[in-house]
Structure 1
Amino acid sequence: MPRFTYLYDTYCGWCYAGAPVISALVEAGAEVEMHHRWLFAPEHAQTMGSGLGRMIEQHDARAEQLSGQPFSETYRENILRAPEERLESTLTAQAAALVHDQGAKVEMALARRLQKARWEEGRSAQDAAYIEQILSDEFDTSTALSDASDAARAMAQETERLMHQYGLSGVPVLIMERDETLYNIALSDYYNRPEEITTLLR
């Protein structure tokens, strides 16, 4: 059976677009190694009022059209059109680090829950209390997000190393290894039929 490596960031819109595909792969029992990138680090964070919100809205419209994933009006109002809202994935990187050792199924389930909080519920990227509530109530994890800072940073560094190794620049990335050969799988090929990703397991 092939092995997979998935590089992602919870708050990457295209990762959200491809999330049902990765979930289908994980739920089918595939061996998937998850690596959160921490794409939107604090040292590079921008606010939506800098013009970032308008740019993201255009990209989101394209992702929604292609994937069918919902980008709600609540999200647009609370996030993209909130001038002081920062695009930063520190808290979700820490959340991913807290559950990483529980395996891909749990880490992907958390990613999808946090994506729902953002793109459907319109929750801020800086709402630590809400993320910790999700971790506690739905994933039986009561550790504070801040306690995972070092682990999140180490995970991000490993992801950057892999991206350099594979000659990649952006996420999401799904690498399949079969018979010692690597394949870069295009998630967009499965947007409208995510369950068909499981044909790669045959």
Structure 2
Amino acid sequence: MKDTQFIIIYDTYCGWCYGAAPLFDALVETGAQVKVLHRHLFQGMNAPRMKDGKGDFILKMDAHISSLTGQVFSQAYQDNVVLSDAEILDSTYSALAAALVHEQGPVKEFSLRQRLEEQRFINGVSAQNRGVVVQTLIEDGVEPDSAQLFDNAENIAKASEISQQAIELMARVSSGGVPTLVKITDGHIEKIDHSAFYGQPELIKTLVSANTKGSCISII
């Protein structure tokens, strides 16, 4: 019997992560041992204002992602987010939201991720809209008092720790960006080319070996 674990590294506001989301959701749904880590890629110096040229690049990239994966980037998202002079590509709120529910496991964290993706990529809600993130947390079952305090110092530290774990694992498998999918079998670690499953999320189950015991391996 082999011990196998999958680790998915993502950022909610990354277009490529949104494109790959159906694959990763399908992997979680197999019941395999899965750990998810929010990378918090967009912050600080890596949180550009859309009007400074980033928006035009993102529009082209989103169209490419959509053609490969079938994921929808709505007109509201294009108009209110990508083409907004005020929008900053900053995933701080989504990283903090993910950290708040992280200990409840990948099903819970990805349920929240799906809701936040819908708010951004379909409804066109700004990444700077704290109120929508709080409301999304509540709608996903977080107690209102906890949701209102999701950006407190303790949770900021937790989100930073999770992001650092992701950074270290990405370096270990020589990954240059998110999303990153890692498979660990009996201590052997490998990066999986998830793009092979674009448009065919049901095939992701082939990664889950029939002789997998499914115990969790801690490498980070």
TM-score by length of 2: 0.88
Residue 145 of structure 1 is matched in structure 2 by 150
CA contact (8 A) 2:98 2:112 kept: yes
1:188 corresponds in structure 2 to 195
SS of the residue aligned with 2:127?
Answer: coil
The C-alpha deviation readout for 1:21-73, integer Å capped at 9, x for no partner, is 11011111111111111100134321111011001001000000000000001
| Partner secondary structure for residue 7 of structure 2 | strand
User: Residue 105 of structure 1 is aligned with which of 107, 125, 145?
Assistant: 107
1:108-138 Cα shifts (integer Å, max 9, x gaps): 1111111111101101001111111010122
User: How far did residue 164 of structure 1 move?
Assistant: 1.7
Aligned twin of 1:33: 35
**Residues 173, 191 of structure 2: 8 Å contact kept:** no
Choose between structure 1 and 2: higher helix proportion: 1
Q: How does 1:114-193 map to 2 (within 5 A)?
A: 114-142=116-144, 143=146, 144-147=149-152, 148-193=155-200
Segment drifting more, 141-150 vs 101-110: 141-150
Aligned counterpart, 2:24? 22
Of 93, 112, 117 in structure 2, the residue corresponding to residue 91 of structure 1 is 93
Aligned length: 202
- Determine if contact 2:9/2:36 at 8 Å carries over to the other structure: yes
1:10 matches 2:8: no
Q: CA RMSD in A?
A: 1.2
Larger radius of gyration: 2
Unpaired runs of at least 5, structure 1: none
- Structure 1 letter corresponding to 2:205: T
Which amino acid is the alignment partner of residue 151 of structure 2?
Answer: S
Q: After TM superposition, give the deviation of residue 190 of structure 1 in Å.
A: 1.2
Checking the alignment, whether the CA contact within 8 Å between 2:11 and 2:179 is kept in structure 1 is: yes
Q: 2:55 aligns with which of 34, 53, 56?
A: 53
